[in-house]
Amino acid sequence: MDRRGRGRGGGVPYGRSPPRTLPHAPIRTTEGICGTQPPRAEDSEAATTASASEPQGTPPRSFDASLDDVKQVKMLLTSKGLPWEIVNIIMDRAEYWACSKSSIDYRQLGMRYLGIAGGDPEREDRFLLRCDPVGLTKWTPPARDSPGHEMWSTAAEPRVVTETDESLIMSPGSGQHDGIDTAALSPNAGTKPPTPTAASTTDHLEFGKETLEEFTDVPVPTLENPVRKLVFDIFSCDQGFGGNDPGIRPDAPYDGSHTWFDVGIDRFDKAINCAKDCEEQENTDPSDTSTSTEPHAELRTCMIRSVWPLSRSSDTTKSTVTDGNSSRRTANVPGGSKKLYHALHPDYKHVIHFNKRVEREVQHHHVEWSWLDGSVTEHVDIGYLGRVPNGNGDFVRGLRLGDMVTIWGRARYLGWRNKVTSVDVRIYYAV
């Protein structure tokens, strides 16, 4: 008898029964049953976009485990004599992971929506949300009335890699878009789950895993790439008129859409020195400062660097390094102004979802990416779904401990407008 259990991660070895969802006797809470996960968004178009007032077909919210919930279940399993390696496999198969939630609702800020206007270089790319650092439960963002909050709620300052940095030379097969390197975001391109092999061209700029572990509540060493799933819920629409571009397929509601959402990454950069007059206090647990292995182990908001979007010099006094694949990255030039680079056309390795073309009613875009998803190709037909059809496994597998997921809203060309009502992101990570 073929006893292989087939799930999203493939079959289990012959002779083994597929593991059950944990815990075996479900722990019931006021929010639901632990281990229950919503269906994937691609199961139906209705689950992808629905009315904001009556979100028909939206996957039901399940119980999202906290870090304490996961630690409790893992201790229960290890108390039965199971080694940590087996426990981790069980937790992954059960999809029982800790969940971190971040959101912004512009209606709660006294606005009907946030408008992003195309055709205006200063307004067509808007930073919307920065999620809490993955796994750093002892680090909290600055409170609304504290120093550093304004910096936390806005995009990171542009910081360009210097010309002497070896990361300017890209390896063969690395990604690019409009001449800008995107391989730094997807270091695992071409790898297959479940074993990520993270690599970065900017390791010397980032805090080591040992330092970041000081900001976690996990007693055992954490995974360097712990993220297992990303869930995006975005309520938005475009201007509701126009959009009669040639070549639009009548049955493809996203053909010719020029408003969409991207996902990016921020990281703490130990090479960034806070200003002498920086008023932001150390945002860390005081009990950990004495055990720090770094000379500057505090993580401040002013130390955040954008991994994607990348930065580049914005004037003509810039230099470019080119390798055999014509991938290039702008080097820092003394005295040159810098800015975050936003390409004119969408980069599908970062696209979350497009708005429906010429749709006045607010839509609910529900998107899930798993660490078991495949890679994103350069050319994607989004006309029917409005998103990459099979998720973005490279992005999920490439996320590191301490990474901050960012959300960007886009609009292109005069007359196009991205009206954003709310953005919600849930990050599921193994511990």
| Spans of all domains in the chain | 17-429
**If you average pLDDT over each of 6-20, 63-77, 294-308, 398-412, which comes out highest?**
398-412
- Separation CA 195–CA 210 (nearest Å): 20
Going by pLDDT thresholds of 50, 70 and 90, the confidence category of residue 396 is: very high
CB-count exposure of residue 57 (10 Å: 0-12, 13-18, 19+): middle
Q: How confident is the model at residue 346 (pLDDT cuts 50, 70, 90)?
A: very high
Instruction: Identify the pLDDT of residue 148.
Output: 81
Q: Report yes or no: 269 and 305 within 8 Å, Cβ to Cβ.
A: yes
pLDDT score of 252 more than 90: yes
152 SS3 class: helix
Cβ-based neighbours of 166, under 8 Å, separated by 6 or more: 201
The torsion angle over the Cα atoms of residues 201, 292, 210 and 208, rounded to 10 degrees, is 0
3-class SS of residue 105: strand
pLDDT band at 61 (very low <50, low <70, confident <90, very high): low
Q: Rounded mean pLDDT of 150-173?
A: 62
pLDDT tens for residues 303-340?
999 999 998 876 544 434 333 333 333 334 344 578 89
What is the enclosing helix (H) or strand (E) of 353?
Answer: strand 351-354
Q: For residue 84, what is the enclosing H or E element?
A: helix 84-94
Could you tell me the maximum CA-CA distance found in the chain, to the nearest angstrom? 71
For 34, the 3-state DSSP assignment is coil
Q: pLDDT tens for residues 214-247?
A: 999 887 777 899 999 999 999 999 999 987 778 8
Does residue 188 register a pLDDT over 70? no
| Mean pLDDT across 266-286 | 68
Q: What is the dihedral of CA 343, 347, 352, 355, to 10 degrees?
A: 60
Tokens for 386, please give them.
Answer: 């409005």
Which structure tokens are listed for 379?
């050319």
Beta bridge partners of 339: 312
Span 385-395, pLDDT tens digits: 999 999 999 99
Average pLDDT along the chain: 75
Reported pTM: 0.73
